[in-house]
Amino acid sequence: MQHKPANTRVEIHELIQTRLSPRAFDPDKPVNHNDLLALLEAARWAASCFNDQPWRFVVCDKATDEAAWQQAFGTLVEKNKQWAKNAPLLILSVAMEHFNHNGKPNRWAMYDTGAASASLCLQATALELCVHQMGGFDADLAHEVFQLPTNCQPMAMMAVGYQADVGVLDEDFKSAELAERARVALDERFYAGSWGKGIE
- Work out the pLDDT band at 2, boundaries 50, 70, 90: low
- Work out the pLDDT band at 3, boundaries 50, 70, 90: confident
- Work out the pLDDT band at 25, boundaries 50, 70, 90: very high
Instruction: Report the chain's mean pLDDT, rounded to a whole number.
Output: 96
Question: Which whole number is the average pLDDT over 10-39?
Answer: 97
The pLDDT of residue 161 is above 90: yes
Q: Which residues of 143-162 are buried (b: 16+ CB within 10 A; e: fewer)?
A: bebbebeeebbbbbbbbbbb
Query: Lowest-pLDDT range, 41-50, 142-151, 163-172?
Result: 163-172
- Work out the pLDDT band at 1, boundaries 50, 70, 90: low
The confidence score (pLDDT) of residue 172 equals 85
The pLDDT of residue 103 is above 80: yes
- What distance in Å separates the CA atoms of residue 128 and residue 118, rounded to the nearest whole number? 15
- What distance in Å separates the CA atoms of residue 127 and residue 93, rounded to the nearest whole number? 20
The confidence score (pLDDT) of residue 61 equals 98
The confidence score (pLDDT) of residue 40 equals 98
The pLDDT of residue 124 is above 90: yes
pTM: predicted TM-score of the whole model, two decimal places? 0.96
- What distance in Å separates the CA atoms of residue 26 and residue 10, rounded to the nearest whole number? 33
- Work out the pLDDT band at 51, boundaries 50, 70, 90: very high
CA distances to 15, 19, 128, 151, 181 from 4, in Å: 12, 9, 13, 40, 7
